[in-house]
Structure 1
């Protein structure tokens, strides 16, 4: 299972290096494969694509509670974390983010399959360890705390990002500004380069 994940992620990385980017969201027009003109590719609304991407993995995570109703505490924590993670993503798509663009249908399907396979692989891998002794160092509670802090912070971050975009707006803008936000570290890099300095 690990080999499948490594090959899958390696292939995605190689495709990115070759310039064949996933055609969704901010990358829609970046490095577009010119073999098929953009207007000939099948597209769906970004919101629909995101729902398509997250829902199968969410259903698989929920389904694991019915397929294997009895598991140890560690197994239940894993399934719960995955379920909460994809529920949060679907909730954000439906109620937080404001979508205005389109997404390549192929990319939506590839993302959906990737999330589904990774979810099923994580759950199945842990299922295979049921009955084995627990690790000597118990990090369940530390992990659960870090997960809750991380997912809460991520949700808050996405909420703040959604406020940078008004309905029908095609790009994020800082309120009161006329230009899209420019990443400060990148700006510093460009400033240093323009002055002939090296960045460490």
Structure 2
């Protein structure tokens, strides 16, 4: 416990951040457990999975849904550069920069990289954008409140920057490989190949976790570490569910390919 306190800024007396810490962690863990037991969020290959009556769900295109999800948190990250009183250098600048790059990459991929074969429920799109927007605002606000607070005993910014760059690059590369699986107008699914797909079915999630860990280490706030922990549980559940889906759809799916962590999980 004492070591952890040396790694983070003291928690600020903020009712909003306290509530968001509990809500964010709880909701992400719940979503991860739900994914693992088959109650999947309604997008991508899990569209219509577990939906009793699809006609009752309001639908939008996958591309529109993802843009709706990612544009508000990108706007929040970019708007933070104009917030009066926000330090214009150091750790705070780094946090704003990496969050902006993270969501810019996501929007870029939605527009230019990803291939979409289905639709998304409007309910999921709204929940997704609220989750990402509130988490982004909370990460920024937590950093804002660290002003005039002594730095943690261990400075993890350099490690965080390295992990962020590895994570965002690896995630983009494996998203690119996924986009090349389909030819134009091809709506079917195939077993991914290349990169780390020979070891895990969700290397893009693995690198996203590394990306998130990098952001948490750059920030070094209680909220950033709590948010990362919840996101880790969610992506573990999502990758576990994804591997089960591939096993059910492809008889030739290699059994030694893990869900998320090579040779382990």
Q: Deviations over 1:47-86 (max 9, x none)?
A: 0000001011100101111124641411111111111000
* In 2: Cα distance, 1:63 partner to 1:187 partner: 42
* Secondary structure in structure 2 of the residue aligned to 1:103: strand
Give the TM-score normalised by structure 2: 0.62
Name 2:45's counterpart in structure 1. 26
1:75 aligns with 2:92: yes
1:158 aligns with 2:228: no
The 5 Å alignment of 1:110-189 reads: 110-173=127-190, 183-185=253-255
Q: Deviations over 1:135-176 (max 9, x none)?
A: 22222112111111111111111111111111222233369x
Greater RCO, CA 8 A, separation 6+? 2
Q: 1:151 to 1:18 in 2, by over 3 A?
A: closer
Larger radius of gyration: 1
Q: Greater CA deviation, 164-173 or 82-91?
A: 164-173
* Secondary structure in structure 1 of the residue aligned to 2:149: coil
Structure 2 gap segments, 5+ residues each? 1-16, 193-248, 259-264
1:49 aligns with 2:65: yes
1:61 aligns with 2:77: yes
Please, what is the CA RMSD of the aligned residues? Answer: 2.6
* In 2: Cα distance, 1:65 partner to 1:50 partner: 24
Give the TM-score normalised by structure 1: 0.81
Structure 1 gap segments, 5+ residues each? 189-199
* In 1: Cα distance, 2:116 partner to 2:46 partner: 14
How far 1:119 sits from its partner (Å)?
0.5
* In 2: Cα distance, 1:180 partner to 1:167 partner: 22
Aligned length: 183
Give the conservation status (yes or no) of the 8 Å contact 2:80–2:140: yes
* In 2: Cα distance, 1:11 partner to 1:38 partner: 23
* Secondary structure in structure 2 of the residue aligned to 1:173: coil
* In 1: Cα distance, 2:73 partner to 2:44 partner: 20
